[in-house]
């Protein structure tokens, strides 16, 4: 079974701080490798500084608490 297969929400997380950088807003489907590429490509398209951030970030499963917390800061 793939790690991301049954995940509700995925996002990009910084490797050093473990801070959530972005929440992927769509349902991701495919193998872990496909999902990883889709989300990293999506994040790269969001802003020009994303290329540097992706060097120290990874795709991860997010908790409901993390998603709610991100929404508070966005609004």
Tokens (6 digits) for 70: 């991100």
Assigned domain for 49 exists: yes
Residue 24's domain comprises 10-63
Assigned domain for 1 exists: no
Residue 33, pLDDT score = 95
Assigned domain for 26 exists: yes
Assigned domain for 31 exists: yes
Residue 69, pLDDT score = 79
Residue 58, pLDDT score = 97
Residues 6+ apart with CB under 8 A from 51: 44
Residue 44, pLDDT score = 94
Cβ burial 18-37 (10 Å sphere, 16+ → b, else e) = eebbbebeeebeeeeeebbe
pLDDT digits (tens, 9 = 90+) for 42-75: 999 988 788 889 999 999 999 888 888 776 655 4
Assigned domain for 3 exists: no
pLDDT digits (tens, 9 = 90+) for 2-57: 888 878 899 999 999 999 999 999 998 999 999 999 999 999 998 878 888 999 99
pTM, rounded to two decimals: 0.84
Number of domains in the chain: 1
DSSP secondary structure of 54-68:
HTTEEEEEPPHHHHH
Assigned domain for 71 exists: no
């Amino acid at each position: 079974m793939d790690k991301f297969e049954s995940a509700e929400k995925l996002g990009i997380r910084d490797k050093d701080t473990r801070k959530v950088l972005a929440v992927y807003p769509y349902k991701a489907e495919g193998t872990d490798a496909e999902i990883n590429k889709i989300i990293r490509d999506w994040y790269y398209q969001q802003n020009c500084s994303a290329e540097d951030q992706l060097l120290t970030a990874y795709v991860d499963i997010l908790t409901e608490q993390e998603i709610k917390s991100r929404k508070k800061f966005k609004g």
